[in-house]
Amino acid sequence: MVISLLLGFFGIIVSVVGMKCTKVGEEDPVTKSRFAVAGGIFFILSGLCTLIAVSYYATQVAREFFDKNPLPINARYEFGSALFIGWGAASLSLLGGSLLCCSCPAKEQRGQQYYRHSQPSTAREPPVKMSSSPIRGEQCL
């Protein structure tokens, strides 16, 4: 669980750097998306560590509960709310990490997503007078 907490902390730091709305770190969008994916990987590893730790403890509780040499009833542990909160936290961490990993644009879209297509400049076009009615003093031919 300590390793899970450390990985989650590093995941928060790295994914904040990788957010598009922050000015921290590189301004290059491809680098920012790589930071976001790295933060997602940290969150996935954190969720896996949490899942392993909570499931290991639940297995120990179940093994001791159904042991042939029973302990006194007061010394037996049962599944409590902390185990269910741990499983929920692990699943949310895995989900959040996978969403961060999916935030990286595809290779074809990387260059096109962040650059605008240039619009034709009106300064290059010759000025054209478009009038439907003749101006005073001029005659129509």
| Gap between the Cα atoms of 63 and 20, Å rounded | 48
**Mean pLDDT, range 14-41, rounded to an integer:** 85
Question: Domains of the chain, with CATH numbers?
Answer: 2-105 (1.20.140.150)
| Gap between the Cα atoms of 138 and 1, Å rounded | 89
Burial (CB < 10 A; 0-12, 13-18, 19+), residue 32, is buried
Name which residue leads in pLDDT, 134 or 65.
65
Name which residue leads in pLDDT, 126 or 81.
81
Residue % of the chain over a pLDDT of 70? 67
pTM of the prediction? 0.68
User: Is the Cβ–Cβ distance between 71 and 37 less than 8 Å?
Assistant: no
Q: What is the pLDDT of residues 65-83, one digit of tens each?
A: 777 776 666 666 778 888 9
Pick the closest to residue 17 from 39, 40, 49, 43 (CA basis).
Answer: 39
Q: Which amino acid is at 98?
A: S
